[in-house]
Amino acid sequence: GRRSKEAADRMYEKIKKEMEEEARKKAEEEDLINLLHQEELELKRREEDAARKLKAERMKQEMIAANEYQKRLKAEREAARQKEEEEFRVMMMAKFAEDDRIEQMNAQKRRMRVLEHGREVQRLIDDKRRLFEEQRAKEEAELAAQKQEEERKQGLVEEERKKLLAELVELQDYLPRGVFRDKADVEYLTQLMGRGAAI
């Protein structure tokens, strides 16, 4: 009786040890899996961070380049306008001189007439410049209005998309992967659901 009880006790101890060992191994494996998962998430987060910074930097460079281009364009236009005005001035002064037969006048009268011509030409140039500025202001206003309208439409589309996403939250478990466009969608959904789980 006692021997068989000892044998049974030994067997029980052996099984108990094996089960404990099994449980320890399983816990270790789970810890390792969790650690790997954490590292994977951390790596993904770092990659997304780097991509975001890169995109921001690229956009900044593009904006700088666009500004430089605009400045250059403006300077070129201004130079062309000044050249055109100068040519116009020379041409008109010559025309007025010819019309008034200025070379036949005495010095005093000629000087007065040249000043008069100069004022008249300047008035014509100012008119041309004013028309040009008005035209440019009109074009800029039209462009701004167009841009505003596009932004308004974009805003409406975005609102619709968010509404749709809010409805999709209900279905998210049944949706195939890749339905969500980007991380912003996922974050928005997560926010809606009021929990920190990623989709």
Identify whether 6 is part of a domain. Answer: no
Identify whether 199 is part of a domain. Answer: no
The token duo for 185 is 């969608």
C-alpha span between 52 and 80 (Å, rounded): 42
Res 144 pLDDT > 80: yes
Enumerate residues 6+ apart whose C-beta is below 8 A from 188. 162, 165
Domain count, the chain: 1
Identify whether 32 is part of a domain. Answer: yes
CA distances from 195 to 42, 118, 191 (A): 19, 77, 7
Identify whether 182 is part of a domain. Answer: no
Identify whether 107 is part of a domain. Answer: yes
- Per-residue pLDDT averaged across 99-104, rounded? 74
Is residue 186 within 8 Å of residue 168, measured between CB atoms?
no
Residue 104 pLDDT: 74
The model carries a pTM of 0.38
| DSSP 3-state of 196 | coil
Identify whether 77 is part of a domain. Answer: yes
Identify whether 86 is part of a domain. Answer: yes
Containing domain of residue 152, as a range? 12-167
Identify whether 172 is part of a domain. Answer: no
Q: Which is more confident, 192 or 141?
A: 141
Residue 125 pLDDT: 92
- Per-residue pLDDT averaged across 30-42, rounded? 91
| DSSP 3-state of 195 | coil
